[in-house]
Structure formats: C-alpha cells, structure tokens
Amino acid sequence: MLVDNFMKKTVDNIAVNPNVALSVWKDKTGYQFKGTAKIETSGANFENGKEMVLKANPKRNPKGVVIVNVDSIFSTSPGPEAGKKLE
C-alpha cells in the first residue's frame, strides 16, 4: 500500500493504465514488483494508510491509497541475478 499525499500524476496514470512497477532497495539489495494498481479513497485500507501517515506527520492530508496486486517480483541487485524473476 502506498498513501497518496502528493501523487496526482501517478493517480492519473493508474486511471489510464493500472499496470505498475515499483522498485525498492537498501544498500545493494533491490527488488522490482510488477502488478496492477487500484486507488481507494474510502474503506479499511484508506483508513489504515491515513492513520499511519497522520501518526508520522499530523499536517498531511492523505487523499487515498494505492493498492498493488503483485503479479511478479524481480531482483534488481547488482550481480549475475540482476533482472531475474523470483519464484
């Protein structure tokens, strides 16, 4: 789940094409997650995301959450496994 605080362009893009790829890394370890996204502006997911953000920064105004249904995960870590689809 990603919380929409300043994601107008991202939200607009998801409305046109829900296929997404997200990359995360720490130090030299990285992963890319591919899947489909949907925007939720109410309900349990939104309330949970809103609560997390407001705890960290009460001045924020979360507009929604992006929920990604992950279809595949790839290694983006340097080395011979880079780009390999993980099982």
- Local confidence band at 87 (pLDDT 50, 70, 90 cut-offs): confident
Give the count of alpha carbons within 13 A of 18, CB side only: 12
Task: Report the distance separating Cα 62 and Cα 53, nearest Å.
Answer: 7
Q: Is 90 exceeded by the pLDDT of residue 86?
A: yes
Cβ count within 10 A of residue 33: 15
**Amino acid letter, 26:** K
Q: Over the Cα atoms of the chain, what is R_g? A: 15
Query: How does strand 19-26 pair with strand 64-75?
Result: unpaired
Average pLDDT over residues 13-32: 97
Question: What are the residue ranges spanned by the domains of the chain?
Answer: 8-76
Task: Report the distance separating Cα 87 and Cα 67, nearest Å.
Answer: 22
pTM: 0.83
Name the CATH superfamily for 8-76: Electron Transport, Fmn-binding Protein; Chain A (2.30.110.10)
